[in-house]
Chains A and B, each alone.
Chain A
Amino acid sequence: MSTLSALQHNRPDWSRIALYVTLLAMIAFYLSPLESGLMTSIKTQAGFQQTSPFVPPLPGQFAIEPWIEAFGRLQSGLVNSILFAIPATILSATIGSITAYGLTNTNWRGQALILMVLIAGIFIPYQSVLVPLSRFWTIVDLGSLLAVIPPLADRSELIALTITHTAYGIPICTLLFRAQYKSIDSSMIEAARLDGATIATIYYRIILPLSIPMFAVALIYQFTNIWNDLLFAIVLISDNSNDVVTMSLQKLTGSMVSQYNIQMAGAFITALPTLLVYIIFGEQFAEGVAGGGA
């Protein structure tokens, strides 16, 4: 083997070069749509009219105004989105973890059934639940229920959105965590049981610490989905001050006039939190996925 590798070192490693070339081509492919959006967002309207979206703005066409204007119009949406997305993400991931535990590392009959029911819930098309969802939240008038606490009552639509997203996120989180929990060595758990640990203790002491990587995956995945959702927001939020960022972004779209530079700047501002999450936590995401896949 070592002779072979020595031989290999003496000639240019075409396969390595080909590998890098391929990868770089893929990078270009993966980034080019983003690049076009970025270029558009820093052009003036005239610049956009005159050039292809992919080319950078020419000297007279550079403009930072689209970003300023987009940010101004998306500000409150950003705040509202953060207000509802973060709790919903954390809640759905946590409940997913607990549920997966209750269905995987404990022993009782009927687990498979409950599990099937939960997993089937992953595949419901969101467009079909809009009307019953808004019916439900009209009936459960959260605003009146919370009227005793005015700040909460004002945000009741966001709270409704949070609860909704939590519920709809539980199935996929459960699945993600189950995949990992299944692979946890059961002898560890048995040993703990022999020591007299309760189900709850086993969760806190053993399972939870092991789940951290998978939490990264669930949190990132859920945050992306919840942050980017538009349909639920449209039906659940009617008060302008509660608009979330995806709705505000849609409002940048005119019906008869399009200001692409502002729209693109707005799109990037909207995407910034999720982009950052992937950039900063990409490592944890990859590790966590390892836990689920192996």
Chain B
Amino acid sequence: MSDKHSRVSRRTVLKTSGVAAAAGLAGCTGGDGDSGNENEVEVVHWWTAGGESDAIQALIEGFEEEYPDLSVNNNAAPGGAGSALSTEIQDRVLQDNAPSTFQIWPGGSLQTYTDSDVLASLGDSVWDSEMEGAYKEGVRDLSRDDNGNYVAVPLNIHRLNNLFYNVDVLDSAGVDPSTLSSPADLLSAMETIDAETDAAPMAQSTQSTWTVLQLWEDILVGEAGVDTYEAVLESGVEENEDAVRSALQTVVDYRDYFNADAGSVAWDEANNDVINGEAAFMHQGDWAAGQYDSSEDFDFEAQWDHVPFPGTEGVYHIVTDSFVKPEPNPSPDATDAWLSYVGSVDGQERFNPIKGSIPARTDVPDDAFGPFLSRQREDFDTSNAQPATIAHGTGVSPQVKSDVEEAFASFAGEWNVDRTYSDLTDAF
């Protein structure tokens, strides 16, 4: 902010942009105002409500204990994943006023930032060999830019390919979820539930695009396998046309078994149906379990349980949040400390149980995690693939993500496989 280069480029910009009045003012201040305390880490994130804000608070407290000379400015962006934060961050980066660090999905979402070289490479001060060893390869890959430098530190991992279910509803329909081994099996199970009970076989929200998109993703993995799925992420849909179309068709088939108000409710309202016994299955990331935990008389294994989405055993479809270090950084050393802490055992142990996710590191002790999360951790440790996701930013660049979401936004209303397939070919 205060270096000559930016001052000069500002003036140049103003002269040529013809904003006459602004040009008159450009001479005065130059914008090298107070860039903030060097020992203060400004953390921008979207965890503003409920358990999430408690989780980030715990992380901050742990950090401040570990580094007493440093302080944290908890500058949450207005809530709701993504948009408001993205607006604020993009804007601030443009003005050379980036915060010390901000929350972002690693992998694909980083591209906008790395293409413009605004993220600092993280060297050994953050990614030392001890930390590297504690991360799985797939997760580490997401933290790197195209040149192989580390630019992000993942904090938590949520699983996407879950099938939650209400035990009582399944019992009364006589369905045993452990026997489901493919999305087609799930379809017939839903037929059975529809016939035997009053409950909606699957709770879903089609008002938001991402829930439909992530369902399609997991159906694709379940039907065609992880390699096909990753090939689609990498190079588009055309080479795997049949698999893509089949997965789309399956979503359309599932739709007959969604709750009646799927189009007007958010996913958590739909999740209430599972809690109330009005729906049987729910496909959602494991943050949904947080809702079950906070409900009265709705306990793990007794009233609700979980299996990996049929066909995706051995796959841990990850959704992860990470922190990065933008450049120019108002507090470079303090930010390095923050990032180290985010990637440390202590930090991840404090944050993840409250957040309802598993740590990105594999060596965090298990004690603080409840039975469901412990089970998830086991699955993660033994998983043979940890693919990224489109819906949650890690799998593809933001441009592709936006176009794919556009395709699915129309899909979620029209349910037309052909049209959506052609939209998808344009998207990738």
Contact = CB atoms under 8 A, between A and B. Distances in A.
Q: Do chains A and B touch in the complex (CB under 8 A)?
A: yes
B92 A131 contact: no
Interface string A139-167: 11101110000000000000000000000
B94 A254 contact: no
Interface stretch (A45-53, A79-87, A89-97, A212-220): A45-53
Contacts of B82: 255
- Indicate the size class of the contact surface on chain A: 35 or more
- Indicate the size class of the contact surface on chain B: 35 or more
Interface in B1-60: 10, 14, 19, 22, 25-26, 28-31, 33-34, 46-53
B95 A138 contact: yes
A274 B210 CA distance: 34
A238 B75 contact: yes
Q: Give the interface SS of chain B, mostly helix, strand, loop or mixed.
A: loop
A253 B79 contact: yes
Contacts of B25: 139-140
A257 B80 contact: no
Nearest to B47: A255
B50 A235 contact: no
A257 B51 contact: yes
Nearest to A45: B294
Interface stretch (A15-23, A111-119, A177-185, A244-252): A244-252
Q: Give the interface SS of chain A, mostly helix, strand, loop or mixed.
A: helix
B399 interface: no
B73 interface: yes
B91 to A, nearest CB: 5
Interface in A175-203: none
A253 B31 contact: no
Contacts of A131: 91, 94
A48 B76 CA distance: 27
B81 interface: yes
B50 A257 contact: yes
B76 A251 contact: yes
Given A240-B73, A254-B48, A49 B78 contact: no
Interface of A: 45-46, 48-50, 130-132, 134-136, 138-141, 143-145, 230, 234-235, 238-240, 247, 250-259, 262
21 contacts: A131-B94, A134-B94, A135-B95, A138-B31, A139-B26, A140-B25, A145-B28, A230-B78, A235-B87, A235-B91, A238-B88, A240-B73, A250-B80, A251-B76, A251-B79, A253-B49, A253-B79, A254-B79, A255-B81, A256-B52, A257-B287
